Structure 1
């Protein structure tokens, strides 16, 4: 079994979406131990968008169905589309998704879609995916991942009521 960490590292000065809060980490000594103060936006680094990102009464990140985040995922490089019987697809080196592609994913019964870019697509694509219950994962690092099927584990922090959350995402390859 091989495990691939496909999350981007969090560090001061890292890329954040224009207008989002900058990442900061302040380490402090308290007696004999150290603690850190962390400040970041919910869309910092590799993150998971919930319907609450676009809809006032949308499902928040802490209420997402975890079975759609721990599932089989197919990594594909466009213009290819998913061909395997997976509930998640991760697009590598992809341009923003079109609304037409988002509709094809819904018809294919995809529950989670991810990309290695800061945004899966424009506002219309986000709204379409999220209103149809398709979870979005953005800012993956798929640079060392071959196209194929993996077991994906993508867990957001349990931030009650949040629109999104940073996440640690791994792909498990069962080939020996």
Structure 2
């Protein structure tokens, strides 16, 4: 069997999990960022043979990835714009850590990450580490409420520095930002991006991939871009998908 067929067989034996929020008007956005607009440009009703729409979107709308250039100036060693970010940094083995019991003012400590490793998997060089806070449960239209964007938990500077020391590829979370709304000065962003580690934010459904998975979140190839919307997905064995689904249903 060829290498391609072996890969196809492996993929077909697993379940693909979509970790991406729908892009739609009135969705939550970071308070200082521009909103998302989706406008009909031409349609069948106007005599066009096809429907065409125009998007107006901030690079950091919805489920997205931060390039290191989001916080690092040109000339800094780890600075990269989105088009320069290696795709390898957006795919790989992912480990999902569950901190869904956290309140908005809580920060994940270095010791808690170490404790998770002792109980589950060792974080290795080249991994992608995802943090589930369960904050996607608050993802609602802005007109219906602002809980998602009002406050959220995140990583402490010490936890981010520890992850950077492990030489991982990326960190992700199901909150508006990897830094808590209660953090001062974006310490986790600087620790991670400053060490060449990309950041995925506004993920969803991380309870479906608790533990180990294979993750992909490819960005648009934006020249000079500080970030990009992504379609984030992960693969897990089908028997593990069933187990996690049952476990989550029992704890609702």
TM-score range, shorter chain: over 0.9
Shift of 1:62: 1.3
Shift of 1:100: 0.3
Aligned length: 176
- The aligned counterpart of 1:18 is 31
- The aligned counterpart of 2:189 is 126
Shift of 1:144: 4.2
Q: Which moved more, 1:149-158 or 1:86-95?
A: 86-95
Contact 1:74/1:84 (<8 A) preserved:
no
- The higher radius of gyration belongs to 2
SS at 1:101 equivalent: helix
**CA RMSD across the alignment:** 1.7
| Structure having the larger proportion of residues in helix | 2
Matches within 5 A, 1:13-52: 13-29=26-42, 31-52=48-69
| Structure having the larger proportion of residues in strand | 1
Q: Which runs of 5+ in 1 are unaligned?
A: none
1:66 to 77, 81, 87: 87
In the alignment, the residues of structure 2 paired with residue 53 and residue 16 of structure 1 have an alpha-carbon distance, to the nearest angstrom, of 16
Matches within 5 A, 1:22-171: 22-29=35-42, 31-57=48-74, 58-78=79-99, 79-80=112-113, 81-82=116-117, 83-86=121-124, 87-93=127-133, 95-121=153-179, 122=183, 123-171=186-234
TM-score (norm 1): 0.92
Q: Which runs of 5+ in 2 are unaligned?
A: 1-13, 100-111, 135-152, 240-252
